[in-house]
Amino acid sequence: NAGVTQTPKFQVLKTGQSMTLQCAQDMNHNSMYWYRQDPGMGLRLIYYSASEGTTDKGEVPNGYNVSRLNKREFSLRLESAAPSQTSVYFCASSEAGRWYEQYFGPGTRLTVT
């Protein structure tokens, strides 16, 4: 039981490049989330998916798109990376009825130069 996995662990992009961060969970959770963590700040919610087939914006969605590919997988795409998107990105999941308990992945450190 791996929990929540994220790939890649590290990534360096140049301004304007695109990439997709992958997230998968094997706990049969309905809900999945993407956060970013910047120095001196707490995590901020980018997008979430309450269930397969649905996605909603969080606090800081601009510059990102998401896809809930199936129940297990929830990807985050940067279409045209900007230096302001340099951050650590966390994926999380929670089961139906226990949405207050989120399980986090190990994070992806992204640098945009």
Number of residues that bind another protein (CB under 8 A): 25
CB under 8 A: which stretch of 18-26, 65-73, 75-83, 84-92 binds another protein?
A: 84-92
CB under 8 A: which stretch of 11-19, 63-71, 78-86, 94-102 binds another protein?
A: 94-102
Structure tokens at 100: 């207050």
89 touching another protein, by CB under 8 A:
no
SS3 26: coil
Relative to beta strand 43-49, strand 103-104 is unpaired
CB under 8 A: which stretch of 10-18, 19-27, 52-60, 70-78 binds another protein?
A: 52-60
Read off the DSSP letter of residue 79: S
CB 46 within 8 A of CB 36: yes
CA atoms of 45 and 100, how far apart (whole Å) = 14
Of the candidates 47, 53, 49, the one whose C-alpha atom is nearest the C-alpha of residue 94 is: 49
Q: How far is the CB of 83 from another protein (least distance, A)?
A: 21
Shorter beta-carbon distance to another protein: residue 31 or 85: 31
Binding site for another protein (CB under 8 A): 31, 33, 40-45, 48, 50, 56, 58-59, 88, 90, 92, 99-107
